[in-house]
Amino acid sequence: MPDNYMVNFDTRELPQVEEEYIIMGSGIAGLYTALSASQAGRSVTVLTKQTMMDTGTDKAQGGIAAALGDADSPALHREDTLVAGAGLCDSEAVAALVSEGPDRVRELIGLGAIFDRDSQGLALTREGAHSQRRILHASGDATGAEIQRVLTQRVREDDKINVLENHYVVDLLVRDNTCYGVLAYDRQNKEYRVFRGKVVVLATGGLGRIFEHNTNPEIATGDGIAIAFRAGAEVMDMEFIQFHPTVLNLPGAPRFLISEAVRGEGAYLRNIRGQRFMPRYHDLAELAPRDIVVRAILKEMAATNSNKVFLDLTHLEPELVKLRFPNISKTCSEYKLDITVDRIPVAPAAHYMMGGVKINLVGETSIRGLYACGEVSCPGVHGANRLASNSLLDGLVFGGRIVEETKHFLKDYNPRHLEFACDWLLEPAKTDYAALRKKLEVLMGEKVGPVRSSEGMREALVFFDQWSYLKRHRADNAEQMEVKNMLQVGELVAEAALARRESRGGHYRVDCPDTYQRWQKHIIFRR
């Protein structure tokens, strides 16, 4: 039998909800799409697997990029994005991002988002690979939290939007390549529910939690990509994972992102010998594209037999540092680090997924009625390496485009009321899923991390083959479903990385270190 479901079910026996829009995810992409749909007069249900605030958006520090400065322009922003993307950006998607981005940011401000200001107006900073100061930030280094706050508030005030927390989306309901809704698990009431929608939107975020060391929230386990792939949607660029160069690496402390904006304000990277090394690797030094900074750090760590380098702000004005980075300063101080006088020990960690569910310029996937936006999606805007602070902008622009497109789609679309069922899955496997998850996280970090080899990736694929039998067994709870999704997306990442026999952007192979013109193309998978 096909393995496109994780549980046995029959929609005729389950409680059902019908809505025009079913949106999965409550970060910037999901909530902005919900608000846009409501403003268009549509009814919306938002499903989120934990609370509304458990999102990658809430954790975002550095800022949101938009060409709002007097010396800046969408054309310059476009050029920087294309250069960072290492030849794999879709130029039309990038043009949409940078040209529509400023208006979307102005909308956020109109909704009540409070960004930092100076005597010139909006305080704009610069980050790696940006040619201009175009990064808006809030409360110094809590930009995502401010955006999450205002969108959450606006959604909660909107009578047309129904938010259901603790609803884990299990699978899509797809027949004849058309999506009719989703099967979800109500974790609080411990029951399955069916949500039928004319427009189904994936905005579930990334997959960083498949790696042992990462900057992502607990929810980032690749669920959206996994359920879309199981349903037959195309996924693209799965090999391109962005590893953030500077993540706190201190015994006893959780991995904590040290924003790229720190380097944007003038911080240096030093090896354990105290030597500043980035000028040896790139003309932009600490502001080089993230993939270049990551590999430079890894080389310095290997050369000095260390598991870290240092981020040095001690030459910067102490009051400026505390004012600009209050969250980072506070967090480091909890571990006895004063960032105005102490160097911060850092190392790279998994941060962002450039690939995902393949979409076109209006958010359509390869399945009719199924759309995607934000980190779960892949419009080709980030290419092989995302430009810093383009991620929040991505969710806004393509979320808005989905609603504009579906205004026309909904006029003529009246989906049939179909029933769905699965009764062929075996009883839950007697597996220690917590231990399996830990094995997966360690394996991905060691074999499919920022430095890869054919041998390591083949070992990873052997691991996934060993556990493939779990697809024949139903999941017994949301935690098991999560691990099965992590196995699915981990396998897709490893398989795509093995297939791409070159190094480009966030994908680096020691056995294929060069970049080739013939590989200036995308790898697309479909069940």
How far from 442 is each of 70, 234, 356, CA to CA, in Å? 47, 27, 22
Helix (H) or strand (E) holding 497: helix 478-499
Contact 516, 502 (CB under 8 A): yes
Angle of the 91-111 helix axis to the 391-412 helix axis, nearest 10: 90
Q: Is 527 a catalytic residue?
A: no
Token reading at 168: 């884990």
Please list, in sequence order, all residues whose beta carbon lies within 8 angstroms of the beta carbon of residue 302, skipping any fewer than 6 positions away. none
Contact 151, 34 (CB under 8 A): no
444-477 b/e (C-beta count within 10 Å ≥ 16 → b): bbebbbbbbbeebbeebbebbeebeebbebbbee
From the number of C-beta atoms within 10 Å of its C-beta (0-12, 13-18, 19+), residue 215 rates as buried
Dihedral of CA atoms 108, 114, 116, 121 in degrees, nearest 10, equals 70
**Catalytic residue chosen out of the listed positions 154, 230, 255, 290:** 290
Token reading at 356: 């995902």
Q: Residue 306: phi, psi to the nearest 5?
A: -135, 160
Alpha carbons 209 and 375: distance in angstroms, whole number: 14
Q: What is the CA radius of gyration of the chain?
A: 22
Please list, in sequence order, all residues whose beta carbon lies within 8 angstroms of the beta carbon of residue 34, skipping any fewer than 6 positions away. 21, 23, 44, 46, 155, 158, 161
Count of residues in the chain:
527
Q: Which of 77, 140, 116 is nearest to 397 (CA)?
A: 77
Known catalytic residues? 290
